[in-house]
Amino acid sequence: MKKNIILSFALAVMLVYGAAGQQVVESVVAVVGNEVIYLSDIEGQVVQLKAERDPTPVDQLRCRIFEDQLVQKLFLDQARIDSIEVSTETVESDLNGRLTDYIRRAGSEQALENYFNKSMAEIRKDLREMLTNQYIVQETQGTIAKGLAVTPEEVKKYYNTIPRDSLPLVPRKVQLSIITIEPPDMDASKAEVRQRLLDLRSRIINGESFSTLAILYSEDPGSAPRGGELGFNTRGELAKPYAEAAWSLKQGAVSKIVESEFGFHIIQLVERKGDMVNSRHILMKPKLSAEQTEWAILRLDSIANLVRSDSLSFTMAAMRYSFDKATRANGGKMVSENPAERVNWLTLDELPREINLVVRNMKLGEISDPFRTTDSKGNNIFCIVRLDQEIAAHRINMQDDYNYLSDAALRDKQSRKYEEWIVDKIRRTYIRISDDFRGCNFHYTGWLE
């Protein structure tokens, strides 16, 4: 049974015929209400999925894609009847974000145009239509499922339908509190890094290859193997000081030393294209001395001992001493780095490696010894953590995982509602299908009636 009604087409699926250099006759293969499906809509996706090594035989794949298109057109036809529209601002925002990503992957706007054999205006038009339809389908589904909810009895019934040997395994989850300390007196270390970068900049100005020196000396593991090259980025995707420096450069020019939250850089502009730039950089970070490390360890030891002796609560210690703004404000509580979640139950795999290794052997309520790790920007920090709560790894169950099961039961109920609606909508809608697709083994039997 189909669980995913919304069609999420990739840009490459939509435009694959431009990339393949093939020509398809724009023949109509189906009419659904006032909506039409073209043969190229089907064949383009077949080519793309086979290129991605989809093992489904071509005839079956073509029929599956065709029925997915039929279902989408049912929702679009209903949206037209109900006068459902979507915000232009929402579509354009998504469109711009996706185009930026596609251009970065291709290398430039020109490369993207060459790949699809279409102008940027045509690519933008096709992508806008796809996104608009997708948002309209979502809005229509929201109307159909409006007001649906599940009762505890329905959640229990849903849980009981899952075979016990098929229940998913939930990994160990923990709630943690953390106090972080940054090493003091970094001025000497920063000065040393600046001098090293100045020496490298002089060598580049005197004719040595920026790319070669980036491979040899840059401390950015992502870009160093590529000669420091970052690819195309918009201003908003780069640290502000880095972006300001990169946008001020002429092609091939090398910046002065730039300090950002990630460390110190020298930057070379590779190419500017519209509102994006491709740049390369050499990143270096201040090194810690033994004295700085010892200071941080002793400082955290002192704070941990205050908490262990009940002279100070961990919450107050975090608010008073921790350097990390994100956790300091809520008394040290760690939350998921995913902005869409912001939950404080974390699996061990979601934790930085060093914290993972420490926490896996801790007992409930225990405060760790001080240890060294890195923050989200790769900077060295020292910290202590406390294991506040934990849920052991287990098979999913009603007692520990009710919210998860409730969400799953609601999705299942919505899916069944969509199925019922589709069957009824097929019966009430004018549908004409080309003879070329009448031999398909459809999931819904009413298409040909």
pLDDT values of the chain reduced to their tens digit, one per residue, 449 residues: 333 322 333 333 344 444 444 444 479 999 999 999 999 889 878 887 887 788 999 999 999 999 999 999 999 999 999 999 998 888 988 888 888 778 777 777 788 888 778 888 888 888 899 899 999 999 999 999 999 999 999 999 999 999 998 999 999 999 999 999 988 777 788 899 999 999 999 999 999 999 999 999 999 998 999 999 998 888 888 889 999 999 999 999 999 999 998 899 999 999 988 778 899 999 999 888 888 899 999 999 999 999 999 999 999 999 999 998 889 988 999 987 665 555 788 999 989 889 999 999 999 999 999 999 887 777 788 999 999 999 999 999 999 899 999 999 999 999 999 999 999 999 999 999 999 999 999 999 899 98
- Residues 179, 413: Cα–Cα separation, whole Å: 44
* Residue found under tokens 């089907």: 42
Closest CA to 362 of 394, 390, 395: 390
* Count of H-run helices and E-run strands, the chain: 15, 13
Interatomic CA distance for residues 232 and 114, integer angstroms: 17
Dist. CA 224–CA 281, nearest whole Å: 8
Strand pairing report for 35-38 and 380-391: unpaired
Residue 193 and residue 355: Cα distance in Å, rounded?
28
Secondary-structure percent of the chain, ordered helix, strand, coil, rounded to 5: 50, 15, 35
43 φ, ψ (degrees, to nearest 5)? -65, -35
Q: How many Å apart are CA 421 and CA 140, to the nearest integer? A: 11
Domains present along the chain, CATH in parentheses: 11-150+409-448 (1.10.4030.10), 173-185+288-392 (3.10.50.40), 187-284 (3.10.50.40)
Query: What tokens were used for 295?
Result: 């200071």
